[in-house]
Amino acid sequence: MRNNKSSEDYLETILLLSKKLPVVRSVDIAVELNFSKPSVSVAMKHLRENGCIEVNQAGFITLTDKGMQIATGVYERHTVLSDWLISLGVNPETAKEDACEMEHQISDESFQAMKKFIQQHAVSES
């Protein structure tokens, strides 16, 4: 199931914040994405209703198995696409911005084929 770009960005952000913070709260997400707290609150309600996150009574947000699967997939697409663009000579900042757009549009079939191609050529160049 593909989600919308916004949901995928929120899930990816929760994943990345969970790697650097002891707990993730809505305010952390708002600061990271430079979004308003009410906007983040609405998004968290949507993600909770769709079974992607859990929010405990203290307001700490964790990814469910479903949310983690989506977040890690988006993050993998972002990382592979960004690294590949940089290896082609694209400015790192531009590569990250472009990868952020591409990660939401590319089909799983095309991404897997691209990833396989990149890995094969990385091995042959070593």
Query: Which domains are seen in the chain, by residue range?
Result: 5-64 (1.10.10.10), 70-125 (1.10.60.10)
pTM here?
0.87
Asked if the model's pLDDT at residue 2 lies above 60, the reply is no
Residue 126 has a pLDDT of 58
Residue 1 has a pLDDT of 37
Question: Is the separation of the CB atoms in 53 and 71 below 8 Å?
Answer: no
Asked if the model's pLDDT at residue 16 lies above 50, the reply is yes
Please give the average per-residue pLDDT across 58-70, as a whole number: 97
For all residues of the chain together, what is the average pLDDT?
92
Is pLDDT larger for residue 125 or for residue 85?
Answer: 85
